[in-house]
A and B are shown apart, each in its own frame.
Chain A
Amino acid sequence: MDIGSAVGRELGVTEEQLRELPRYRESAAFSEEERLAIWLAEEMAETPVEIPPELSMKLRRHFDEAQLVELAAAIAWENYRARFNRVFGVRPVGFSGGDFCVLPERPAGDRE
């Protein structure tokens, strides 16, 4: 989250988007493509991973297959990185330098 927030800023993620990430579904801060990519990330963080047909259909409407491969590969890799880091307690080192940093969320299954 620390390095992700900092790199995201460099890539054009706005401060508002960082703050609104937990409520991306109803927030006006995101484009349709951004919302779909975040939704996919949310589903891929679940166990078991089950992509709803509605999401699949919308993803294919907005991204071609090569783009979907790249997006799924990036999200799968972030799962690898994040889970690996958790084993060793790798801590943030201040990449965000005091700027707003995205906060942990509870998985969807725990949110009721």
Chain B
Amino acid sequence: MRVRNLLAPLKVFARTRYERVPDLVRLLIQRPAILAAVGSYESALLVSGRVEGRIKALAELKTSSLVGCPF
């Protein structure tokens, strides 16, 4: 389960063209301590497997649709 959680974003990134992704990197790299903290939090979520990835993905999708984040 956890391996699947980790692989899912990697698979998506691997098959995507990166025209705009550097935007996020460019923004966060200006504050390296925040970039590192974001990386740590994202990693911690990816290796947390007590809840099925599908359930977390649905909750996250609902959030981004309500907050209006197209990314």
- Give the B-binding residues of A (Cβ under 8 A): 1-8, 10-13, 17-18, 21-22, 24, 30, 33-34, 37-38, 40-42, 44-45, 63-64, 66-67, 70-71, 73-75, 77-79, 81-83, 85-86, 88, 90-95, 97, 102-105, 107-108
Contact = CB atoms under 8 A, between A and B. Distances in A.
A77 B45 contact: yes
15 contacts: A18-B61, A33-B52, A34-B54, A37-B59, A38-B59, A45-B66, A63-B51, A70-B56, A71-B59, A78-B59, A88-B23, A90-B71, A91-B23, A93-B18, A105-B65
Interface residues of B, number: 43
- Majority secondary structure of chain A interface residues (helix, strand, loop or mixed): helix
B9 interface: yes
A98 B50 CA distance: 32
A105 B66 CA distance: 5
Contacts of A7: 8-9, 12, 57
Contacts of B53: 11-12
Contacts of A3: 9, 12, 71
Interface of B: 4-5, 7-9, 11-12, 15-21, 23-24, 27, 41-42, 45, 48, 50-71
